[in-house]
Amino acid sequence: MDITEYIRLVFSDYTLRTITLGTAVLGAVTGMLGSFAVLRKQSLLGDAISHAALPGIAIAFLITGTKDGNVLLLGALVSGLIGTFWIRSIVKKTHLKSDTALGLILSLFFGLGMLLLTFIQKQPNANQAGLDKYLFGQAATLIESDVWMMTWVTGICLVVLLLFWKEFKILLFDADYTKTLGFNTKFIDILITTFIVVAIVLGLQTVGVVLMSAMLLAPAAGARQWTNSLGYMVIIASFFGALSGVVGTAISASQNNLSTGPVIVIIAGIFVLISFVFSPSRGLLFKQIRFIKNRRDLQLHKTLSFMYNIAKTHEDIAHPHAIKILNNFQGYTRGTLQKLVKKNYVNLDGSLWSLTEEGYKTASNLYNQQTKNDE
């Protein structure tokens, strides 16, 4: 199936369109909120919340007996919130660090959830099958109303984000200072956390409990590499998230119905990888290039200062010397010599070299930072 045909199918086929839109919106909202989670160094919070949601799903099913997605998600929301605020109070009231508290709540709730799921499976009523789709997600079960729901939540999220942008930013950067300015930091904090919980719960059906935190973190981690502005970071993260959803859905639909959730997560991971390698200011590739360039400059400087030390001993600095005497020196090559000639620091004459006036001056001030700053 080629791309144009696929795109036509996305617009004509109801199921494919629903899934594509759903995963795109989900990716956008988790990317947006994930930026805040990453900047608050609460990357694991998403993982804890999504795992904490599992017992809620099971309990909601046990109480109501329905498989209605919205009821189950309500259960997930409640238990996700309980887990989150439990973590907060553990960190506040005990000596435990937040990573310990997160890990503890994560495994406790997940264990309880798995216990309840196996209990449900042993129940005589045959209605139970399908709850385990919340473990790894099943995008194929998305329907139009789910997508509307996601869109509404994303919209509300966006409005709140724009309204409280200034408050969010300052809280993320310097919470103590925010408090002294008279802002209710607890309120802002709870607002951010609640939205993160809601976004995660929304994604459970599609991506599942286990992989959900990747949707939160990967787009944000990738986006951070491309910009030094919080605003652009949020925009780029939403874009990465949405694109992961669309591309992931396309791959899973065209390749014999591969499981959508994991494919989306892997695509998001690839975005992170690309960002870490190719970002111009923070990427590994350009860092390496800068490193090599600096090393070359250094070797050039070494050659120049070696020449300077020789020329210094003569009255006439332009006095020519044999190239051969440079041979013992590390870092000297034909190439570097040519470079020095190009910079007009050195004159070459056959097998002899001599420093120019400019080269002599540069060499004598090579390691003198003060004069460089003055220039």
Angle value at C-alpha 273, between 271 and 277, nearest 5 degrees: 115
Least Å distance between CB 179 and another protein?
5
Q: How far is the CB of 177 from another protein (least distance, A)?
A: 6
- E-strand ranges in 158-217 read none
Rule CB under 8 A: which residues touch another protein? 39, 41, 95, 163-167, 169-170, 172-174, 176-183, 224, 227-230, 232-233
Nearer Cβ to another protein (228/313): 228
List the 321-322 sheet strands across, edge first. Answer: 321-322, 352-355, 346-349
Q: For residues 351 and 368, which CB has a smaller minimum distance to another protein in the complex?
A: 368
Count of alpha carbons within 13 angstroms of residue 303, beta-carbon side? 27
Give the H or E element holding residue 335. helix 334-342
CA dist., res. 332 & res. 304, Å (int): 9
Helix, strand, coil percent content, the chain, rounded in steps of 5: 75, 5, 20
Residue 36 or 332: which CB sits closer to another protein?
36
**Which is closer to another protein, CB of 185 or CB of 364?**
185
Instruction: Quote the CA–CA distance of 288 and 276 in Å, as a whole number.
Output: 12
Closest among 233, 213, 222 to 172, alpha carbons compared: 233
CB 123 to another protein: min, Å? 47
| Identity of the residue, 275 or 303, whose beta carbon is nearer to another protein in the bound complex | 275
CB of 252 to another protein, least distance (A): 33
CB of 235 to another protein, least distance (A): 12
